[in-house]
Amino acid sequence: MTEIETDRLLLRRWRKKDLDPYARLCADPEVMRYLPGTLTREESARQIERFVYHWERRGYGLWAAEEKAGGEFIGFVGLEHHDDWPVDEHKVEVCWRLEKRFWGRGFATEGALASLRHGFERLELPRIISVCDPRNTASRRVMEKAGLTFRGRVHWRGYDDVWYSADRRGWLEPGGGPG
């Protein structure tokens, strides 16, 4: 499994001890405000199992994100394949979810950029999407800062969302990706 270091983050494999901070993160109503709802500890544990299975099955996935400076788990960022994405055949999404006390310092954007670079350069994906609730202004801003472009609205899994995307060719060109 590929691990990635950015200036301030270590994107690494999941460890058993990540469950405590991950369960805390997913039990926080503010973090989960624009997601279907908070999770119990058991649901968070099942999610981590699903993330690990996704890595094994596809060779990429969501990394556990650690702040290098303090060595603390801060959440996840990475790439997830959605079999049921309804728009077209480009079904890999760049996603993030961070603990609140780490918001507002550019970590989501830093992790998203590393994930997109990995997806385009190493995995050679032609297109990467990102999806969120239209009211999730912070995530939409992260999408824009990471060089994704607004594509429209989509009804998916019972929710009305907005989606963004970036194409490999454009994103990797000088001046074509993030601003």
Ligand X SMILES: CC(C)(COP(=O)(O)OP(=O)(O)OC[C@H]1O[C@@H](n2cnc3c(N)ncnc32)[C@H](O)[C@@H]1OP(=O)(O)O)[C@@H](O)C(=O)NCCC(=O)NCCS
Question: What part of residues 7-46 is at the interface with ligand X (CB under 6 A)?
Answer: 31, 34-35
Strand residues in the chain grouped as ranges (E): 4-5, 9-12, 62-67, 72-81, 92-98, 127-132, 149-156, 159-167
**Shortest spacing between CB 3 and ligand X, in angstroms:** 20
The distance of Cα 102 from the centroid of its chain, to the nearest Å, equals 15
**Shortest spacing between CB 54 and ligand X, in angstroms:** 16
Query: Of the candidates 14, 51, 107, 163, which one interacts with ligand X according to CB under 6 A?
Result: 107
Q: Which residue, 160 or 169, is less far from ligand X as judged by CB? A: 160
Q: Which residue, 124 or 155, is less far from ligand X as judged by CB? A: 155
Establish if 76 lies at the interface with ligand X (CB under 6 A): no
Establish if 142 lies at the interface with ligand X (CB under 6 A): yes
**Shortest spacing between CB 130 and ligand X, in angstroms:** 7
Q: What is the DSSP string of 151-175?
A: EEEEEETTEEEEEEEEEHHHHHSTT
Report d(CA 56, CA 24) in Å as an integer: 25
